[in-house]
Amino acid sequence: MTSRAPLEHQAAWWMLAPALAFTLVFALYPVVDSFFLSLHRIFLGVPALGQPFVGFENYQTMAGDPVARQAFLVTIGFVLVSTALELVLGLGIALVIHEHFSGRGWVRVAALIPWSIPTVVASQMWRFIFNDQYGLANLLLFGERVEEYIPWLAYPGFAFAAIVFADVWKTSSFAGLLILAGLQVIPEEVYDAARIDGATTWQRFWKITLPLLKPALLLALLFRTMDAFRVFDLVFVMTQGGPGDSTLVLQFYGYKALFAEGRMGYGAAISVTVFLAIFVLSLFYIRGIGSRLLEKEPA
């Protein structure tokens, strides 16, 4: 490593430069700028107040803000439930499309369709499906008995479930894809050996597939957690946070503070908090995945 020629070193830097510059401008700068904003008290609608530096006041306000606390809980709930369901379903999808059967290509494509639909479009679709007057959910459940139709999104519990449901529908196949990649690197010989030893299908799944799949599962978990933590579009389109803030997630709360209320400092503080939460979680996961991946590194 250390014996690398200086010229080669220089070339490496040149080749890295575009990617580094891109990351600095589009990833690091916004984060730093958001953090800087979050240390100020800014009401766009009241310029007479100026934009004083207030240290961590916005973060203190957030700690005592019941709405922020609720948004945090709703977000955590959303992350836990949706990622858990997505991993389980993703594993199922991966196992199915890993098998050899005629028409597998079509099934693989079909499984990926939800993921390829833009979230805003999918959200709008789910909003229609859960509509109280012409929604498909009601038609399937109650048919022509219109008076029994349920306004799903008017119930806090159902509204939250609807958002989780829409997310699970949309991204399970993405988790499935990551897990499929993990499945494909498990050598057939291991299964053959197990079969010779008389292991049942169930035993092969628990003793071979799952342990060898752990890195892929963790990777899927990491991606889904990061994504679920910054959920916004589903809420924006389907419920606008309602009813009664039962679907208010942190990113939507931050959006309201920033774009509607003009509270730039407070909104930035919320965004930074979401960023930090994802950052810490990712570090935690990556340490887990990293060590495992290194162990498996081919000799």
Partner 1 sequence: MRGPLLLAAGILLGSLTASSQETLGAKSATHESTTVLRFVSWKPDNPHAWDEALARFTEAYPRIRVVREIAPHSSTAFHDLLTQKLKNHDPTVDLFLMDVVWVSEFAAAGWALPLDSLFPPSERIQFLPNTIEAGSYQGQVYGVPLRIDSGMLYYRADLLRKYGFEPPQTWEELARQADIIVEGEAPTDPGLRGYSGQFKQYEGLVCNMLEFIGSRGGQLISQDGRQPALATPESLASVRFVRDHIIRRLASRAVLTYQEPESLAVFVQGKAVFHRNWPYAWEVANNAERSAIAGKVGIAPLPRFPGGPSVAALGGWLYGISAYSQHQNEAWQFISFFSSHEMQKFFAIKEALAPSRTALYSDQDVLKAAPQFRDQFAVFQAATPRPRTPVYPAVSHILQRYFSRALAFADVDLEAEATSADRQINRLLRLTGESF
Asked whether the beta carbons of 219 and 178 are under 8 A apart, the reply is: yes
Residue closer to partner 1 by CB (options 90, 265) is 265
Asked whether the beta carbons of 241 and 115 are under 8 A apart, the reply is: no
CA gap 82, 232 in Å, rounded: 14
- The kind and range of the H/E element at 9 are helix 6-23
Q: What minimum distance in Å lies between the beta carbon of 260 and partner 1?
A: 5
| Residue 52 binds to partner 1 (criterion: CB under 8 A) | no
| Residue 143 binds to partner 1 (criterion: CB under 8 A) | no
Output the CA angle 290-293-299, nearest 5 degrees: 135
- Residues 188-247, interacting with partner 1 (CB under 8 A): 239-246
Q: What minimum distance in Å lies between the beta carbon of 130 and partner 1?
A: 9
Residue closer to partner 1 by CB (options 20, 146) is 146
231 Cβ contact list (under 8 Å, min separation 6): 75, 78, 163, 167, 249, 251
| Residue 151 binds to partner 1 (criterion: CB under 8 A) | yes
Q: What minimum distance in Å lies between the beta carbon of 155 and partner 1?
A: 8
* CB atoms near residue 50 (< 10 Å): 11
Mask: binding to partner 1, 246-275, rule CB under 8 A, as x and -?
x---------xx-xxxxx------------
Q: What minimum distance in Å lies between the beta carbon of 43 and partner 1?
A: 6
Choose the stretch contacting partner 1; rule: CB under 8 A; options: 92-100, 116-124, 146-154, 287-295: 146-154
| Residue 45 binds to partner 1 (criterion: CB under 8 A) | yes
| Residue 147 binds to partner 1 (criterion: CB under 8 A) | yes
Give me the helix-helix angle, 66-98 and 210-229, nearest 10°.
Answer: 140
Q: What minimum distance in Å lies between the beta carbon of 267 and partner 1?
A: 11
* Count, residues near partner 1 per rule CB under 8 A: 33
| Location of structure tokens 């799944």 | 205
Residue closer to partner 1 by CB (options 11, 49) is 49
Residue environment code for 58-93, b if the CB has 16+ CB neighbours within 10 A, otherwise e? bbebbeebeebebbbebbeebbebbbebbbebbbeb
Residue closer to partner 1 by CB (options 177, 249) is 249
**DSSP-derived secondary structure for 226-246:** HHHHT--HHHHHHTTT-STTT
Which chain residues interact with partner 1 by CB under 8 A? 43-49, 66-67, 132-133, 146-147, 151, 153-156, 239-246, 256-257, 259-263
